Structure 1
Amino acid sequence: MRRSERLIGLTKHLLDRPNQAVSLSEIQGLLEAAKSSLSEDVGFIRQALENLQQGTVQTISGAAGGVRYVPRLSDTERALFSAEMVERLSDPSRMLAGGFVYMSDILGDPLVIDYVGRLFAEAFVTSGVNVVVTVETKGIPLAVATAHYLHCPLAIVRREHRVTDGAVVSVHYVSGSNRRIQSMSISKRAMPDFARALVVDDFMKAGATCKAVVHLLAEFQATVVGTAVFAATAEPLQKLVDDYKALFEVSDLEEGRVPVVRSTMFWETQ
């Protein structure tokens, strides 16, 4: 195999497995190359990715040895994505009764989902996340993308218990939108031991739903490392959850009015 072919194959192998440890022995068998040659290839790929601001390749020490691709978005991609989302969210026809924003088309765009997943993963990659948690249904695509880039499982909180979930843990909470008592549950089998959970959702107003998820996870003695949402309202200023990150902030949510959308995208990684 020529080096150019090997570089393409190795790059694809790493990019398909973000934040996943890959042993050099595995790559050696796949590409039929000596470890010394692969080490040189990894250095070349690392330099190229860093020059393009597309992340880096970390070397994993140890007897087996290995590498891990840690992705990121370039500054140019961030700026273009931010500007496009602000423009799309600023459309007054998106304003719904009750102070909500129609975002189903945006959050159904595969490229948007992918970008959001990469941004959330980049923000929490050093937090030791071993499970991503979301509430059905609109937050699921974002949570799937985030779990992919963090290389960890996804646990879905249900509003109604399904028999296929097996044994579940449930809590009751007061909805922030209609002030009604609601319930949510999560399968016991979905949560890993010693969980370090990242809560992902599409939209936050007061944060009642996310707070209920935090209380639910407390039943598993899980540590919640943070909450990541696509968009949050400017009011109320004080949310019911303290540690959250939102990509966008929306205010003046009244039907027929032009909303004020501000990018609050976190540009620095943790």
Structure 2
Amino acid sequence: MDTPKFRRSQRIAAMTSLLSNYPGRLFSLTAFSQQLDTPKSVLSEDLAIVKETVETLQTGELQSVAGAKGGIRFIPKITHKRQKEFLEEVARELSQEHRILPGNYLYYSDLISSPAYVQPMAEILAETMNLKDHQYVVTVETKGIPLAYAVARLLDKPLVVVRRESLMTEGSTVSVNYVSGSGGGMQRMVLPRRAMKTGSGVVMVDDFMRGGGTARGMKNLMKEFDAEVTDIGVIMASKSPADKKGGSYTSLLILEKVDEETGKVDLYPNPELFQ
């Protein structure tokens, strides 16, 4: 059976669908040419239209990577204006009195489990974090997993989940003990030896940072794999202490104060994101 001939509108729809469904993934022009039975010169013209459209709509960026292993990939992006509006909306939602828990904590599990919130958060982090020379996205169970997965999907990189306890089904493991930056208690991190290649670069994604103890523990664990944490991204970070144990990081929101008695929450977008 002969391969059907596709019209330009069909080719553009097909390539746009693939690129947006697999953000961060490189697609070779040769693969598109074979799949659509269309010369690469014609597809280049089609992709120019796709590139112009996403840039006009400000929904992302179409990147061309040269070389034998190069290709085309789509990186979703949000304008700074929309980023600020979105984070202000999140801050208002999390500042409601009914979210305050005993001990001056905030309930936000519902938000970080909702794709409507997690996807924009991931897009903002993926744009603002230092992603040079990274091969993995890592997180610690459990609240940070949805966001870390969304970031990993955007970057087209594997997600590695560090656990508190080892599982029989994961084989030999490496573990480190660390002091929690929030509670000050001793905690444990465990990662299977097969989870990642040694000598890799990783970015850490988590839900919250108070004192930075978890981040420092992650860095110590990564040293056991000769891996380097190139950046850390979190949804929220407490304003105090200013110097975190884990070093530099990127935070979407700054939590200044939670007052259980008055029902007040002082939470706002990180101003450094918009400088």
Which band: TM-score by shorter chain? Answer: over 0.9
Q: Which runs of 5+ in 2 are unaligned?
A: 1-5
Q: What is residue 262 of structure 1 aligned with on the other side?
A: 268
Matched AA of 1:207: G
1:114 paired residue number: 119
Whether 1:134 and 2:139 are equivalent positions in the alignment is yes
| Contact 2:137–2:202 (CA under 8 A) maintained in structure 1 | yes
**Higher mean C-alpha deviation, range 78-87 or range 229-238:** 78-87
Q: Deviations for 1:215-248, whole angstroms, at most 9, x for unmatched residues?
A: 1111111111111000111111221122101000
Shift in CA distance, 25/154, structure 1 to aligned 2, threshold 3 Å: same
Alignment of 1:151-166 (within 5 A): 151-166=156-171
3-state SS of the aligned residue for 2:10? helix
What amino acid does structure 2 have at the position aligned with 1:138?
Answer: K
Aligned residues: 269
- 8 Å CA contact retained: 2:252, 2:273: no
The partner residue of 2:66 within 57, 61, 70 is 61
Tell me, yes or no, if the aligned pair for 2:131 and 2:231 is still in contact at 8 Å: no
Match of 2:50 in 1: 45
The equivalent position to 1:245 in structure 2, one of 246, 250, 253, is: 250
Distance 1:177 1:66, change over 3 A: closer
User: Is structure 2 residue 202 aligned with structure 1 residue 197?
Assistant: yes
Distance in structure 1 (CA, Å) of the matches to 2:104 and 2:216: 20
Contact 2:258 2:265 in 1 (8 A): yes
User: Does the residue aligned with 2:240 lie in a helix, a strand or coil?
Assistant: coil
Counterpart secondary structure, 2:30: helix
Q: Which runs of 5+ in 1 are unaligned?
A: none
Question: TM-score, normalising length from structure 2?
Answer: 0.92
**Aligned with 1:112: secondary structure?**
helix
1:79 aligns with 2:84: yes
Residues 268 and 225 of structure 1, relative CA distance in 2, 3 Å threshold: farther
Q: Which residue of 2 aligns with 1:144?
A: 149
The answer to whether residue 14 in structure 2 is matched with residue 9 in structure 1 is yes
Deviation at 1:253, TM superposition (A): 1.6
1:19-71 deviations in Å (ceiling 9; x for gaps):
21111111112222221110001111111111222222122223475212222
How well do the aligned residues superpose, as a CA RMSD in angstroms? 1.8
Decide whether aligned partners of structure 1 residues 215 and 207 sit closer, same or farther in structure 2, where only a CA change above 3 A counts: same
CA distance in 2, matches of 1:265, 1:140: 25
1:213 aligned residue: 218
Identity %: 35
1:85 positional shift? 0.4
Q: Distance in 2 between matches of 1:96 and 1:196?
A: 37
Specify the alignment match of 2:180 in structure 1. Answer: 175
- TM-score, normalised to structure 1's length? 0.93
| Displacement over 3 Å in runs of 4+ | 265-269
The worse-fitting range, judged by mean Cα deviation, of 122-131 and 139-148 is 122-131
Letter in 1 for 2:270: T
8 A Cα contact 1:58 1:68, kept in partner: yes
- Per the alignment, residue 188 of structure 1 pairs with 193
Q: Secondary structure at the match of 2:197?
A: coil
SS in 2 for 1:253: strand
Report the Cα offset of residue 107 of structure 1. Answer: 0.6
Report the CA distance shift for 1:251/1:124 in structure 2 as closer, same or farther (over 3 A): closer
Give the structure 1 partner of residue 93 of structure 2: 88
Aligned partners of 1:131 and 1:192 also within 8 Å: no
Relative distance call for 1:170 and 1:56 in structure 2 (3 A) is same
**Contact 1:125–1:150, Cα closer than 8 Å, also in 2:** no
1:105-130 Cα shifts (integer Å, max 9, x gaps): 11111121111121222223641221
Q: Does 1:20 align with 2:20?
A: no
Show the counterpart of 2:3: none
